[in-house]
Chain A
């Protein structure tokens, strides 16, 4: 049924003979519910371009979870406009609504009047003007509400809840609460199936730490056997303990390079299993592998000799440390082409490919760089000269040798032009005191007669 047919007064569910009698030149086609469902799923898959969480709502609808991603399109209105434009280009007539709850969005899309956006938290006001059929309730309930003269949801909401439940069943109450956001609603999002997944159903719920560890070992071994058979390795594993009360407890480990050695992966999991709260027992365990990539079979060792350079146990070591301390606490430094010393270093994951750039050896840099430069009291009688002495942490240092200045200005091209100032210029000196201590100090700003120069200590040379 298309828009033209609706305009002629036809409606779904009408007998074909009646419709033909009414409109003699009607073109009819056989209904194909399976094909419709397939097309809906195809549309759902296409909608992943908008949001990773899309749930089909048969026979002719879908839910798109746009929480936290409307800003990518510049607001919900722009997102809806883009969505409509793309579907219109494919000749798909579409109605849509955006609201806090799936129920309210459904009602807006099917019964709203063009204003398809519901402001956050205001679904009550918007829905009050819509007919009760916008609540996704059965036709019988709908008809009965109509018979009682309840034409608007607002009128229904004003009635006592207990009477509503008694007269129309729990469905009406549930749907009403779901639309208002007072009851939870679970959507069955369509997600691509992960082929690297295994499940272990247990005959009896388990809860002791030993059992959890044993089950972890078992399931890792099963999945790793499959990975080995197909020549794959994974960089991330997630184990989920499903409790009897339905709350899964997940533990995740990451690896620096793909792996499929069951014993090693189990060892990474074991110290973290104490996070798992088994509650009244765990009845099911699932394990999923992510970032699966081809991994050629490798001979681990021919003799007992330690492994050759570059290989060895570096990757397992990095994995152990990263999983124990946190991935952000294990890194390798790499060059950033920036003159500002604190920006010249970036962190990358260990064992990731190394960029070819290197730090300029002609610019000496300290071995210890303070995150915040420390203020020092310096005595510099001649402008633009290094100080003759300075006091740092209560200790007086007499400068014996000095080198510099190396003038480092801020990266003005990264700041708005109004914020660029000559006071952000730093003149760095490398100085050595009488005892041999070597320091990296700088004067901030250009020399100005009358104004005392500010000196800072930024790092220590060996």
Chain B
């Protein structure tokens, strides 16, 4: 009986996955190089490509979006082999030498400076739909379901991967992280204290506390990542993933740190339980 049930569930899951991937057999994904991270994503294979992902920050980061921008750049770095990246923003405070310090080649970056939110999303859709673009990073305040669905269709058409950095305009309203979203994953990125190597003065390699808040066909998680090659004059290897897992923060540490959101009561995340995760999704 149990076998029959799990078999039916698998069939339904496969059907949903097929619907979500738009009928394509298998969608590519980008492994984090660490199974503890990869298994939270659909198929246990890492970050799904040809989708778009939403990244945001808390507190001051919601306005400045430095940590989410760096995290998005590092996620997108391996995708640059397929073509240049397009960075769309309303403010021109992105500093390419800083990206170069993270190993992001400035020659493969096309910067687009838009006037308003609508232009940002339209430009992102246009860039995602063009073939030959490696990654599209767009800084926008919010993305409603319709716009998100349009971005998703553009991703499927152009085979590019999108990263939407939720960024509040200076002095503006709340960033648009709440509510429904068509994104494949939703992350909250915060800077974490760095750990310099023993006996070395100064700051260590940058670290981020990355919370995977929502993942289509996967489950949430929280990790501490480090970018080992950043801001050093050692040559950055191309084949290794630019992010290294430092610690699995699990759910116990995060549950109290999570601020209460009206739409999403602070339910502690289930500790690895498949059933509980499924119930929560339902």
A367-B68 Cα distance, complex, nearest whole Å: 11
> A297: CB under 8 A from chain B?
no
Contact of B66 among A307, A332, A435, A462 (CB under 8 A): A462
Contact of A359 among B97, B194, B196 (CB under 8 A): B97
Residues of B within 8 A of A367 (CB): 66, 69-70, 73, 94-95, 98-99, 102
A345-B71 Cα distance, complex, nearest whole Å: 22
Chain B, interface residues (CB within 8 Å), range: 35 or more
From residue A445, how far is it (CB to closest CB) to chain B in Å? 24
Chain A 281-318, CB-CB to B under 8 Å as 1, else 0, gives 00000000000000000000000001111111110111
A344-B206 Cα distance, complex, nearest whole Å: 23
Give the nearest-CB partner of A364 in chain B: B231
Contact call B98/A368, Cβ cutoff below 8 A: yes
> A52: CB under 8 A from chain B?
no
Chain B 31-70, CB-CB to A under 8 Å as 1, else 0, gives 0000000000000000000000000000010001111011
From residue B62, how far is it (CB to closest CB) to chain A in Å? 13
Chain A 407-430, CB-CB to B under 8 Å as 1, else 0, gives 000000000000000000000001
A435-B190 Cα distance, complex, nearest whole Å: 9
Q: Given A329-B112, A395-B60, A403-B202: A321 and B123 within 8 A (CB)?
A: yes
Chain B 159-172, CB-CB to A under 8 Å as 1, else 0, gives 10000000000000
> B193: CB under 8 A from chain A?
yes
Contact call B95/A313, Cβ cutoff below 8 A: no
> B203: CB under 8 A from chain A?
yes
> A401: CB under 8 A from chain B?
yes
Q: List CB contacts (< 8 Å) of B122-178 with chain A.
A: 123, 126-127, 130-133, 158-159
A295-B96 Cα distance, complex, nearest whole Å: 33
Contact of A345 among B95, B190, B204 (CB under 8 A): B95
Residues of B within 8 A of A366 (CB): 66, 95, 98
> B228: CB under 8 A from chain A?
no
Q: List CB contacts (< 8 Å) of A319-354 with chain B.
A: 320-321, 324-325, 329-335, 341, 344-345, 347, 350, 354
A389-B59 Cα distance, complex, nearest whole Å: 19
> A365: CB under 8 A from chain B?
yes
Contact call B66/A460, Cβ cutoff below 8 A: yes
Please tell me which stretch of B4-12, B20-28, B80-88, B268-276 contacts chain A, meaning at least 4 of its Cβ atoms lie within 8 angstroms of it. Answer: B80-88
> A393: CB under 8 A from chain B?
yes
Residues of B within 8 A of A358 (CB): 100, 106
Contact of A361 among B84, B131, B132, B233 (CB under 8 A): B233
Contact call A314/B83, Cβ cutoff below 8 A: yes
From residue A355, how far is it (CB to closest CB) to chain B in Å? 9
Give the nearest-CB partner of A309 in chain B: B83
> A72: CB under 8 A from chain B?
no
How many contacts A-B (CB < 8 Å)? 183
Contact call B106/A311, Cβ cutoff below 8 A: no
A347-B106 Cα distance, complex, nearest whole Å: 11
Contact call B96/A333, Cβ cutoff below 8 A: yes
> B239: CB under 8 A from chain A?
no
Residues of B within 8 A of A368 (CB): 64-66, 69, 93-95, 98
Give the nearest-CB partner of A361 in chain B: B233
Please tell me which stretch of B113-121, B215-223, B248-256, B258-266 contacts chain A, meaning at least 4 of its Cβ atoms lie within 8 angstroms of it. Answer: B113-121
> B208: CB under 8 A from chain A?
yes
A128-B92 Cα distance, complex, nearest whole Å: 59
> A400: CB under 8 A from chain B?
yes
Give the nearest-CB partner of A314 in chain B: B132
Contact call B112/A370, Cβ cutoff below 8 A: no
Contact of B130 among A314, A324, A329, A393 (CB under 8 A): A314
> B101: CB under 8 A from chain A?
yes
A345-B153 Cα distance, complex, nearest whole Å: 35
Contact call B203/A430, Cβ cutoff below 8 A: yes
Give the nearest-CB partner of B107 in chain A: A354
> A362: CB under 8 A from chain B?
yes
Q: Given A359-B97, A438-B203, A461-B98: A334 and B67 within 8 A (CB)?
A: no
> B110: CB under 8 A from chain A?
yes
> A387: CB under 8 A from chain B?
no
A264-B107 Cα distance, complex, nearest whole Å: 26
Q: Given A313-B131, A368-B93, A368-B98: A401 and B106 within 8 A (CB)?
A: no
Residues of B within 8 A of A432 (CB): 193-194, 203
Contact call A320/B126, Cβ cutoff below 8 A: yes
Q: Given A368-B66, A462-B102: A325 and B203 within 8 A (CB)?
A: no
Contact call A309/B81, Cβ cutoff below 8 A: yes
Residues of B within 8 A of A38 (CB): none
A401-B191 Cα distance, complex, nearest whole Å: 14
Give the nearest-CB partner of A355 in chain B: B107
A110-B122 Cα distance, complex, nearest whole Å: 62
Residues of B within 8 A of A350 (CB): 110
> B201: CB under 8 A from chain A?
yes
Residues of B within 8 A of A437 (CB): 60, 191
Of the A-B pairs whose beta carbons lie under 8 Å apart in the complex, a sample of 7, sorted by A's number, is A329-B113, A359-B96, A361-B101, A368-B66, A395-B60, A403-B201, A435-B190
Known contacts A314-B83, A367-B73; can you find 5 more A-B pairs with CB under 8 A?
Answer: A313-B158, A325-B112, A345-B95, A359-B100, A404-B202
Residues of A bordering B, CB below 8 Å: 306-314, 316-318, 320-321, 324-325, 329-335, 341, 344-345, 347, 350, 354, 358-359, 361-362, 364-371, 393, 395, 400-404, 430, 432, 434-438, 459-462
